[in-house]
Amino acid sequence: MSAANFNGQKPTIDLKDAVMLLIDHQSGLFQTVQDMAMPSLRANAAALAKMASLSELPVITTASVPQGPNGPLIPEIHQNAPHAKYVARKGEISAWDNPDFVAAVKATGKKTLIIAGTITSVCMALPAIAAVHEGYRVFVVVDASGTYSKMAQEITLARVVQAGVVPIDTAGVASELQRTWNRADAEKWAEIYTKIFPPYRLLIESYAKAQQVAKEGEQLDSQRK
């Protein structure tokens, strides 16, 4: 398999050069997902939209025949990223075959694409492979892209990596975009992690309790003095 060609650049997400493409996260298509729990997929897709808002990343969405059985986009996408641009398609299976979608990507001036899509082997993979061929640096978010079997997921990952695409998970995207906890919106990022893996909330709760106990101890010491 060939490694991704980043032309000497670091193989990490460049916040200043990135645009997020959220493709076909539709209620009907979600019903076909078997490689992961549907609620987790839905939460991860919504988390991507939220972190794009916090990072001020452009977001482009699209849906495959939303008036048919594929269903509408899940509402959390545009609720969490109200600045997202929706591009309607004319029946094209691959979003990259739609001229308006490609034009919207080019209009951002960004060359690093963060892509998630359902179904993985089609909605995520086909645009990702096509974009790499046109010179984009492409990261695909595997756990925000669902498909109908674990085997289909594994075959697709082998295919996209061979094409030069870099797979990543939702938490990995969050960490690369966030960069540091030393920021004013750190609590909002912590909340995103609780959506990606709910047990993270236990860390927040235990920390908050420890802080409360420490504060109460300081108050008692002050009173005794």
Catalytic residue numbers read 123
27, two tokens: 């209620």
Q: Show the CA angle centred on residue 74, arms to residues 200 and 83, nearest 5°.
A: 85
Contacts 24+ apart (CB under 8 A), 188-192: 188/54, 189/51, 189/54, 192/47, 192/50, 192/51, 192/54
Neighbours of 90 (CB within 10 A): 9
Contact partners, residue 176, CB within 8 Å, separation at least 6: 12, 13, 15, 168
